[in-house]
Amino acid sequence: MRRVAIIGAGSVVFCKTLILDIMATPALEDTEFVLMAPSTSKTSQVKAYIDRVIDANGLKARTVVTTDRREALRGASYVICSFQIGGLSAFELDYKIPLKYGVDQCIGDTLGPGGVFRALRSIPVVLDIARDMEELCPKAVLLNYVNPMAMICWALGETNIQYVGLCHGVQTTLDLISGYTGVPKNEIDFITGGINHMGWFLKIEHKGKDLYPLLREKFEQPEYYVNEKVRAEVFRHFGYFMTESTGHLSEYVPWFRQSSKALGLYCDEPAFGGESGAYYNWCTYVANKYKETDLLADEPADLPPRSVEYCAYIIEALETGKTFKFSGNLRNKGMIANLPEDCCAEGLVYADRTGIHRTIVGELPPQCAALNLTNINVQRLAVLAAKSGDPETVVQAVALDPLTSSVLTLKEIRDMVTEMLEAEAEWLPQFAGKRPRPTPTIAIPADVQRAEVPIDPALAIFSRFGELAK
């Protein structure tokens, strides 16, 4: 049997979806699922439910539960990562500490202080998994669902394992485009490219006809505009529609969340860019509601059709040679010509029996590449900080974040990062005993005289202009 190790299988609903998708694929019926999490409180629920589905449908699959990651990886054909280091406790700190300083995040899992600190917690674990895979299952393919996707896959791109990062932003955005244009989703021809959570629909066509004029027309109508206000504004000003939601995009750019004025600027609605802490609040609600409940106890044992998630289709392609194309996250290596070679890019990827293959997207429109680069700068430093354990690099990563830098001074950013490192220390062992350098404010008395310093002769003329101006 092929062995699929799911690292982070305590994510009950998502884990269930991926397993059902694989079991609903005829070529993959005989699969052993190894459910790994630090405790068995949730994985035992998943196993009990999946076993019911297997028995009810006469399937050849089987499930195993373990808390030993190395045991889960041993001999695996595929590794699925869907964990969250620190869980809701760390997520609360990612959201509430920046909010105290004035950085208002809606989602907080991709960029901004929340995304950077999620990367700091997750990248060392992902790299440990990659090292274990090199030893225990060197031919296995890692399918990553852990956010921040671009930072995680940037780090994975520096290892020797086969991997691809998967997200459903493109699929769900296609649903929106289909609804706005009245064209069935499966009849839309499209090309996307960029970075995860900030990819761009470079082409949207139906039977050779460009759908962009119709989409632009729809977004000028209030009843359509109101559904995706931030994406609509960026679309109107930058010319291309983005692959992720308003709440996400509002955090990746400096224009929508830096003040109450900005949040209500474009319409009489305070949550223009998505409500503050929307994802954290939702996660808290779900965790509290189902804390003592077995979510899967009453789920029917029918085997549903496959979902929109890419995972099962990719494994099917790798096993059978049935080619599958999808939007995947890999080290760029020329996929997108005007983004850095070493960054994690998202574009059209093919899977078949010979592996996972990037395609050449070419150059993005320069304005789209420029927006991507503002995020890539943060990603680069966050990955470096996660690996090096250098707190100064964390400060620099957060300082370059578009939203944070639109709200805070450099001193405030340093103070915020210091507080977050202290609060999240239990999940950040690489920073043990290390904090950013303190930078006290320099008091300048009113009567202080400027120090006499030599002037570069090349600059002397400018000094002379100053004297003349006086």
Give the separation between CA 96 and CA 103, rounded to whole angstroms. 9
Task: Please provide residue 434's backbone torsions phi and psi, each rounded to the nearest 5 degrees.
Answer: -120, 135
Catalytic residue among 145, 163, 252, 313: 252
Helices 112-136 & 391-399, crossing angle to 10 degrees?
130
Contact of 125 with 95, CB cutoff 8 Å: no
Bridge partners (DSSP) of residue 346 are: 194, 329
Could you tell me how far CA 339 lies from the centroid of its own chain? 18
Question: Beta-carbon neighbour count of residue 411 at 10 Å?
Answer: 12
Check if 252 is active-site: yes
Nearest of 347, 315, 384, 155 to residue 243 by alpha carbon: 347
Rg (CA), the chain: 24
Residues, the chain: 470
Question: Largest Cα–Cα distance in the chain?
Answer: 92
Give the separation between CA 328 and CA 404, rounded to whole angstroms. 28
Check if 168 is active-site: yes
Strands (E), 198-317: 198-206, 209-210
Question: Beta-carbon neighbour count of residue 277 at 10 Å?
Answer: 21
Contact of 14 with 8, CB cutoff 8 Å: no
Question: Beta-carbon neighbour count of residue 427 at 10 Å?
Answer: 20
Give the separation between CA 303 and CA 291, rounded to whole angstroms. 26
Cβ contacts of residue 198 below 8 Å, gap of 6+? 242, 243, 244, 249, 252, 371, 372, 375
Cβ contacts of residue 311 below 8 Å, gap of 6+? 18, 21, 22, 80, 143, 166
Nearest of 112, 92, 111, 90 to residue 102 by alpha carbon: 112
Active site residues: 168, 252
